[in-house]
């Protein structure tokens, strides 16, 4: 028997196409994440840490953790945990917001900038792999299609 998100009984079968899509998308994502982790191994960064540094570097200055969470589409508690780890490694520091002393901002340290650059160079191996697998047009289509699954931030 199948149940919906309200735990009510559903009297229908899931299409084989849906099962294949879920399997392929999930497996493909896991395999790409594994390639990213392997490429970043020497840097000591995880993929999500590099993504966080990227958002902070691109911001060009201190960012409120709530704003960072919104940009990344992550729950705020997850971003706080990521920033804690980056701060432990001296890649990020927390600073007071000069406009609101109650608010805390995160900014990349010099070491964080260096580690970010090293991580981005390491990712070229993954970029090469993706470019071998897909044409530029296919990559654009894939980005568009996968973006549809990411309309609502996970909370």
- Tens of pLDDT, residue by residue over 47-79, are 999 999 999 999 999 999 999 999 998 899 999
Say how far apart CA 53 and CA 89 lie, in whole Å: 12
Say how far apart CA 24 and CA 73 lie, in whole Å: 23
Share of the chain above pLDDT 70, in %: 92
pLDDT of residue 54: 97
Q: What are the CA-CA distances from residue 29 to residues 49, 77, 113 (Å)? A: 17, 23, 27
Residue 60 phi/psi, 5-degree rounding, is 75, 10
pLDDT of residue 4: 66
Say whether pLDDT at 92 is over 90. yes
- Per-residue pLDDT tens digits for 110-133: 999 999 999 999 999 999 999 999
Give burial (CB, 10 Å; 0-12/13-18/19+) of 31. Answer: exposed
Residues 6 or more apart whose Cβ sits within 8 Å of residue 141: none
Say whether pLDDT at 154 is over 70. no
Average pLDDT, the chain: 91
Say whether pLDDT at 33 is over 70. yes
């Amino acid at each position: 028997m199948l149940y919906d998100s309200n735990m009510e009984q559903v009297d229908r079968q899931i299409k084989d196409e849906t099962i294949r899509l879920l399997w392929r998308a999930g497996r493909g994502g896991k395999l790409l994440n594994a390639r990213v982790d392997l490429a970043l191994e020497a840097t000591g960064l995880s993929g999500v840490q590099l993504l966080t540094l990227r958002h902070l570097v691109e911001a060009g200055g201190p960012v409120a953790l709530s704003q960072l969470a919104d940009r990344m589409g992550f729950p705020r508690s997850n971003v706080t945990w990521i920033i804690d780890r980056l701060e432990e490694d001296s890649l990020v520091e927390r600073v007071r917001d000069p406009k609101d002393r109650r608010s805390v901002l995160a900014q990349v340290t010099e070491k964080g900038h260096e580690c970010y650059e090293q991580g981005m160079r390491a990712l070229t191996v993954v970029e090469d792999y993706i470019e071998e697998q897909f044409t530029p047009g296919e990559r654009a289509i894939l980005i568009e299609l996968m973006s549809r699954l990411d309309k609502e931030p996970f909370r």
